[in-house]
């Protein structure tokens, strides 16, 4: 269900495309240590969050999609952020080709080369929920809305989700959404128990192909 372009309504949430006007709300999510720890060894600065919001705004305009801020439909409090983004064409994401069908669409590049060159037919999905809203199914609700948007609105061929191997909460969301484990890749991140990031941290990859999507 949607009212204006990109905005979605789920049973309990209003999902709004991230733009610079929502940088503070994005900060409320990514400023929580329980969230930023999964994305790097250091807390992001407010300036960095502002840059991320600007990139997301650009991606919504040029790629037709990026992450949403999630708000309670009743009350309007910031619940989290999540949803889709087009995957960059780079060596990191190139590791995912082996988990996709060996067909031309998997490597086809989106027409808009800005804000970054991206794959045209498959996207990444993710979620982050503020501490006080965890354990209530909100991440799964955001994820389901993302899959509907990917397959029914954008006509995507596949959606993938990646997280550090030891992120059991995020992996549980992928499983609840019916996204099957496909394998692992190595990328920059914090290995369990480590203080410093390393280049070859293990990430699991879960994949849902359009043909497997029950709709």
Ligand X SMILES: CC(C)(COP(=O)(O)OP(=O)(O)OC[C@H]1O[C@@H](n2cnc3c(N)ncnc32)[C@H](O)[C@@H]1OP(=O)(O)O)[C@@H](O)C(=O)NCCC(=O)NCCS
CA-CA distance, 16 to 10, in Å (whole number)?
A: 11
183: CB partners within 8 A, 6+ apart: 98, 99, 204, 205
User: Is-cis flag, bond preceding 69, omega within 30?
Assistant: no
Task: Quote the least distance from Cβ 31 to ligand X, whole Å.
Answer: 12
The residue among 114 and 136 lying less far from ligand X, judged by its C-beta, is 136
Give bridge partners of residue 187 from the DSSP assignment.
201
The residue among 65 and 164 lying less far from ligand X, judged by its C-beta, is 164
Residues in 155-174 at the binding interface with ligand X, rule: CB under 6 A: 163, 167, 169-170, 173
190 token code pair: 């914090």
The residue among 62 and 174 lying less far from ligand X, judged by its C-beta, is 174
Residues in 12-51 at the binding interface with ligand X, rule: CB under 6 A: 34-35, 38
Instruction: Determine, following the binding rule CB under 6 A, whether residue 213 of this chain makes contact with ligand X.
Output: no
72 token code pair: 């309670």
CA-CA distance, 17 to 61, in Å (whole number)?
A: 10
184 token code pair: 């692992």
Instruction: Determine, following the binding rule CB under 6 A, whether residue 138 of this chain makes contact with ligand X.
Output: yes
Is residue 17 a contact partner of residue 28, using CB atoms and an 8 Å limit?
Answer: no
Options 116, 122, 127, 151; binder of ligand X; rule CB under 6 A = 127
Instruction: Determine, following the binding rule CB under 6 A, whether residue 149 of this chain makes contact with ligand X.
Output: no
Please give the size of the binding site for ligand X, defined by CB under 6 A. 19
The residue among 129 and 158 lying less far from ligand X, judged by its C-beta, is 129
CA dihedral 64, 67, 73, 78 (to 10 degrees): -150
Residues in 171-210 at the binding interface with ligand X, rule: CB under 6 A: 173
Task: Quote the least distance from Cβ 185 to ligand X, whole Å.
Answer: 13
Q: Give me the residues that bind ligand X (CB under 6 A), please.
A: 34-35, 38, 126-129, 134-140, 163, 167, 169-170, 173
């Amino acid at each position: 269900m949607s009212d204006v372009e990109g905005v979605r309504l789920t049973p309990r949430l209003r999902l709004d495309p991230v733009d610079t006007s929502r940088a503070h709300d994005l900060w409320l999510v990514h400023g929580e240590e329980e969230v930023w720890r999964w994305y790097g060894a250091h807390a992001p600065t407010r300036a960095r969050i502002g840059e991320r919001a600007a990139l997301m705004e650009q991606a919504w305009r040029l790629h037709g999609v990026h992450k949403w801020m999630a708000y309670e439909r009743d009350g309007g409090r910031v619940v989290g952020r999540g949803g889709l983004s087009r995957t960059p064409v780079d060596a990191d994401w190139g590791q995912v080709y082996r988990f996709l069908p060996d067909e031309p669409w998997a490597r086809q590049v989106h027409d808009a080369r800005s804000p970054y060159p991206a794959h045209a037919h498959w996207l990444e999905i993710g979620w982050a929920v503020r501490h006080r809203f965890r354990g209530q199914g909100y991440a799964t609700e955001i994820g389901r809305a993302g899959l509907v948007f990917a397959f029914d609105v954008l006509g995507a061929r596949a959606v993938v989700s990646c997280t550090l191997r030891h992120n059991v909460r995020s992996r549980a969301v992928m499983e609840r959404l019916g996204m099957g484990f496909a394998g692992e890749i190595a990328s920059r991140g914090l290995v369990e128990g480590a203080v410093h990031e390393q280049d070859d941290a293990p990430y699991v990859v879960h994949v849902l192909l359009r043909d497997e999507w029950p709709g």
